[in-house]
Amino acid sequence: MTDIVSIADSSLSARISATGAELVRLRDRHGLDLLWDGNPAFWTGRAPLLFPLVGEAKGNVIRVDGVAYGIPRHGFARTSHFALVARTPAACTWRLEASEATWRQYPFDFRLDVTYAIEGGVLHMTAEVTNKGNRIMPASFGFHPALRWPLPYGKPRAGHEIVFERDESAPIRRPIGGLLSSARYPSPVRDRCLALHDGLFEDGAIVFDRLESRSLIYGGTMRVAFPDMPHLGIWTKPGAGFVCIEPWQGHASSEDFDGELADKPGMVSIAPDATRRFGVSIGLIRSP
């Protein structure tokens, strides 16, 4: 049984765990860490995968055809054991399939394949969700990488910012007890720039559910691209050494939503025998 796989090219190296098929290390060519180390004083995660939910359902319960199923925040993939199904020096693919344990939480027959591939100094993370059943399958998927804040290139923590591909002037959402508030708040983005500081996160994550951009630059050094993902969360614990830049398809339920899973905002419908792809890439825009 393989627990950890290492992949690399001349510019980046990565390690991926069988638990959650989670990226647990990302380093540049000098061996400098770009990913959070999971310090339990703040948060033990590094880059969990969110499936079949992003965020939380009301009461941690979803409803399918009127039947209630208990499921934790962000779903079960992040704590599940994945099987390694392919491996090369610069890529690996992991698989999770439906089982008795998953059916008790999410009554659909699925296959989830997650591929990590490093090419040209860019880490590509691709998830493919296949509906193996005979009925429409509602699903969400999210990436949750925690990047170092500050990055290891000399810029102070207070000097870090996120520059979006496009202006993000639409109001944002905020969580309340794990659910999204029905209220909307003015966007903190100015001229495509989000200046990072702990005060942004005193009320939790910033949620962009009307996202215009499909890429951004973090810290002047890293590009995060997410062409398949229409939503974005940005989060940290104030004082921690990371910022999570989280491209999503879907988001937590609104505080007033308690309906069928298929009607939950942000879900996609996958037809029988069909596959839905979700992807994110992370790379350095220059070699420090």
- Asked if 284 contacts 28 with a C-beta cutoff of 8 angstroms, the reply is yes
In tens, the pLDDT along 17-59 reads 999 999 999 999 999 999 999 999 999 999 999 999 999 999 9
Using only the alpha carbons of the chain, give its radius of gyration.
18
- Asked if 242 contacts 256 with a C-beta cutoff of 8 angstroms, the reply is no
- Asked if 253 contacts 180 with a C-beta cutoff of 8 angstroms, the reply is yes
In tens, the pLDDT along 92-101 reads 999 999 999 9
Residue 2: what pLDDT? 80
- Residue 48 tokens read as 């969990």
Residue 65: what pLDDT? 96
Q: Is residue 249 over pLDDT 80? A: yes
Average pLDDT over residues 143-158: 97
∠ at Cα 72 (116, 36), nearest 5°?
Answer: 45
State the Cα–Cα distance between residues 134 and 131, nearest whole angstrom. 8
**Of the candidates 167, 97, 82, 170, which has an alpha carbon nearest to the alpha carbon of residue 130?**
97
∠ at Cα 123 (119, 128), nearest 5°?
Answer: 105
Residue 279: what pLDDT? 98
Provide the pLDDT confidence category of residue 16 given band limits of 50, 70 and 90: very high
Residue 288: what pLDDT? 59
Domains and CATH numbers, the chain: 4-284 (2.70.98.10)
- How far CA 280 is from CA of 29, 79, 269, in Å, comes to 21, 20, 20
In the 8-state DSSP scheme, what is residue 170? S
State the pTM of this model.
0.97
Average pLDDT over residues 72-85: 97
Q: Is residue 1 over pLDDT 80? A: no
Residue 287: what pLDDT? 59
Average pLDDT over residues 188-215: 97
Which residues lie closer than 8 Å to 57 by C-beta, 6 or more apart?
71, 252, 253, 261, 264
Q: Cα 219 to the chain's mean position, in Å?
A: 19
- Asked if 80 contacts 100 with a C-beta cutoff of 8 angstroms, the reply is no
- Asked if 149 contacts 33 with a C-beta cutoff of 8 angstroms, the reply is no
